[in-house]
Amino acid sequence: MANESDDEIPDLVLTDDRKVPITVITGYLGAGKTTLLNYVLTEQHGKKIAVILNEFGEGDAMEKSMSVGENGNLYEEWLELRNGCLCCAVKDNGVQAIENLMVKKGKFDYILLETTGLADPGPIASMFWLDEDLCSDIYLDGIITMVDAKYCQKNLDEVKPDGSLIEAARQIGLADVIIINKIDLISQDELQTLKTNLRSCNSFSKIIETTKAKTNLEDILDLNAYRSLDSHSLFSDRGFNEDRKHKIDKTIRSITIDLEGELNKTKLEHFLQDLLWEKKINNKENKPTEILRLKGVLTLENEDICYIVQAVNELYDFQTTSWRDNPKINRFVFIGKNLEKSVLENHLYQCKVKS
């Protein structure tokens, strides 16, 4: 028998401990994000996919409309937020709102979060990159950056008056997958140049070329980019030569450092804190190194198992991994601004255990 409080009774109490992946989709206006979302919803017929649009500056709206695709139908759900914007709110507000909704309506198979054109995906990624100990029902699966094949270069050539990184560069630096969409609008030569330039900004992301965002979904879903499973990407040969001249956004680059031996965790953490929190590591021009993303696979002193270290902006985390390409080599990939290979190499060298 129905009663007045029916609305408050959860439709489903979560009994399974399945964690739901959340993928952040960024890209400039018109790159093809909506086309991609529609494509995923169509292709994933039978799955329950939540699509959240994160619009910045949405004021103090308490609820956020989101679409849920299930069995080919789209319906609307409401995320109850204490503030209208997911990432401008208290840190765990967005996470809590999604978890609450799943308790009421059942778990999603995937959550796709589209940010508006000029967004920096860093704060959003940080919000969903949660400590395993918090036992959240959702986890950050990866960041997908869509670029418009025809206009990407132009967007990246923009310069901010204060010299800070433009959003397009941040979106590319933080990407786990870069989708170059609208390749029907450029020549093969232009595509090759763009790919090489993107690779110089981000050496470990997967680069996919599409028309109308049509892609193999295995390339964009279940990336596990923030889990130890993804360490392969650090060693995969993506045919990139770091020493080549940078043509796009001269301030952002990607560098790889290999180092033999075991590392001391305390020293490594001090280095990471100086680098990421204190911004005390300067390049030779005395400009502070700004890290967007860092990934490393390494061996620590007196430990049998290998570790993955990851960072997004100021956040970093160590995880164990059973996978290792070459147990003698520690590899670090840094993506950011004002990076000087010899400076970072020198700091990492100081973290080595003296034999």
Ligand X SMILES: Nc1nc2c(ncn2[C@@H]2O[C@H](COP(=O)(O)OP(=O)(O)OP(=O)(O)O)[C@@H](O)[C@H]2O)c(=O)[nH]1
SS3 221: coil
Beta-strand relationship, 48-54 and 110-115: parallel
Which of 183/339 has CB closer to ligand X?
183
Report d(CA 332, CA 351) in Å as an integer.
13
* 54, 155, 181, 254: residue in contact with ligand X (rule CB under 6 A): 181
The stretch near ligand X (CB under 6 A) out of 121-129, 158-166, 177-185, 228-236 is: 177-185
Query: What are the CA-CA distances from residue 344 to residues 93, 135, 251, 347 (Å)?
Result: 36, 34, 16, 5
Q: How far is the CB of 50 from ligand X (least distance, A)?
A: 17
List the one residue out of 125, 235, 216 whose CA is nearest residue 176.
125
Q: Which of 21, 24, 33, 86: binder of ligand X (CB under 6 A)?
A: 33
Answer yes or no whether residue 119 interacts with ligand X by CB under 6 A.
Answer: no
Closest residue by Cα to residue 206 from 182, 240, 164, 183: 240
Part of the chain binding ligand X (CB under 6 A), chosen from 22-30, 163-171, 189-197, 310-318: 22-30
Q: How far is the CB of 146 from ligand X (least distance, A)?
A: 6
185 binds ligand X, rule: CB under 6 A: yes
CB of 30 or CB of 106, closer to ligand X: 30
Question: Which residues on neighbouring strands pair with residue 299, listed in sequence order?
Answer: 306
Contact with ligand X (CB under 6 A) among 126, 211, 264, 319: 211
E runs forming strands in the chain: 20-27, 48-54, 63-70, 73-80, 110-115, 138-148, 177-181, 206-209, 252-260, 290-299, 306-312, 315-321, 329-337
Residue 34 sits in the site that holds ligand X (CB under 6 A): yes
Shortest Å, Cβ 180 to ligand X? 10
Comparing CB distances to ligand X, the nearer of 186 and 255 is: 186
Q: Which of 31, 169, 252, 276 binds ligand X (CB under 6 A)?
A: 31
- 96 counts as binding ligand X under rule CB under 6 A: no
Binding segment for ligand X among 210-218, 225-233, 256-264, 288-296 (CB under 6 A)?
210-218
Q: What's the token pair of residue 291?
A: 């890290």
Region binding ligand X by CB under 6 A among candidate stretches 31-39, 278-286, 300-308, 318-326: 31-39
In the complex, minimum distance from the CB of residue 34 to ligand X, in angstroms, rounded to a whole number: 3
- Conformational region of residue 57, where left means phi above 0, alpha means psi within -120 to 50, and beta covers everything else: left
Tokens matching residue 93: 């507000």
| 182 touches ligand X (CB under 6 A) | yes
Tokens of 242: 């770091």
Which residues make beta-bridge pairs with 177? 144, 206
Q: How far is the CB of 151 from ligand X (least distance, A)?
A: 11
Beta-carbon contacts of 273 under 8 Å, excluding residues fewer than 6 positions away, are none
Is 74 a binding residue for ligand X by CB under 6 A? The answer is: no
Residues that bind ligand X (CB under 6 A): 27, 29-35, 117, 181-182, 184-185, 211-213
